[in-house]
Amino acid sequence: MIRFEQVTKVYPGGHEALKNLSFKIDKGEMIFLAGHSGAGKSTILKLIAGITKPSDGAVWLNQHNMGDLSDNHLGFLRQHIGIVFQDHKLLFDRNVLANVLLPLQISGKYSHKDALKRAHMAIEKVGLAGKEKALPVTMSGGEQQRLCIARAVVNQPTLLIADEPSANLDRAYALDIMELFRSFHQAGTTVVISAHDESLMADYGHRILRLQQGRLI
């Protein structure tokens, strides 16, 4: 499903974040990206989502070379990718329901009634039923993270990527979040998760790609 072919990423200013990286992720796989801060985990996820382009080499998502796609085509493709960002990117002036509805409204594919039904299902799936009218600022870090996940999965993406979804959560909450991702994986979604705390990944028996200074180790 995802293929990195000798990918190098150099950011403006000259920092080489990834160095000649090659790997594959199969459809339906759940995989972890591990490494210290600055190792290149977020850069890999941004390349997968087409948020940034490789400086050299190619990133393939199914049959699409992500570096070659137009913005329109990328926008269309991203509707099949659920992204849980490190900085949440929640709309803090809108309630839980409005945050989860947003991707459905952007896709324009659903009637208001269908969109509401899907949003409520996603909110329930992440354990936030009853919080539909809450504003994100009134919620705990763990709840905000669940909200991000509901928003990422509401379009039923085939690929779910999450950048440090358990950062800043205590261990019990972090494990809950991992369980949630596991349930999406078990339902057939391909899941790619970055984290610096390998102890959270150890129990799952999934492949771990370990990064150090932009290289796989």
Ligand X SMILES: Nc1ncnc2c1ncn2[C@@H]1O[C@H](COP(=O)(O)OP(=O)(O)OP(=O)(O)O)[C@@H](O)[C@H]1O
Q: Which residues bind ligand X (CB under 6 A)?
A: 11, 13, 15, 17, 35, 37-43, 164, 196
Nearest distance from C-beta of residue 62 to ligand X, angstroms: 23
Decide whether 22 or 168 has the Cβ nearer to ligand X.
168
Q: Residue 195's beta-bridge partner residues?
A: 34
Decide whether 5 or 16 has the Cβ nearer to ligand X.
16
Of the candidates 182, 210, 118, 116, the one whose C-alpha atom is nearest the C-alpha of residue 156 is: 118
Nearest distance from C-beta of residue 40 to ligand X, angstroms: 4
> What are the Cα distances from residue 114, in Å, to 105, 111, 119, 198?
11, 5, 9, 39
Rounded Cα distance between 192 and 58, Å, is 18
Nearest distance from C-beta of residue 22 to ligand X, angstroms: 17
Decide whether 38 or 57 has the Cβ nearer to ligand X.
38
User: Could you tell me the strand order of the sheet in which 2-10 lies?
Assistant: 16-25, 2-10, 56-61, 64-65
Decide whether 143 or 164 has the Cβ nearer to ligand X.
164
Contact 120, 101 (CB under 8 A): no
Task: Write out the H or E segment, with its range, that includes residue 190.
Answer: strand 190-195
Within 8 A by CB and 6+ apart from 143, the residues are: 128, 131
| CA angle, residues 193, 195, 201, in degrees to nearest 5 | 80
Decide whether 16 or 176 has the Cβ nearer to ligand X.
16
Decide whether 42 or 166 has the Cβ nearer to ligand X.
42
Nearest distance from C-beta of residue 46 to ligand X, angstroms: 7
Nearest distance from C-beta of residue 85 to ligand X, angstroms: 11
Nearest distance from C-beta of residue 117 to ligand X, angstroms: 35
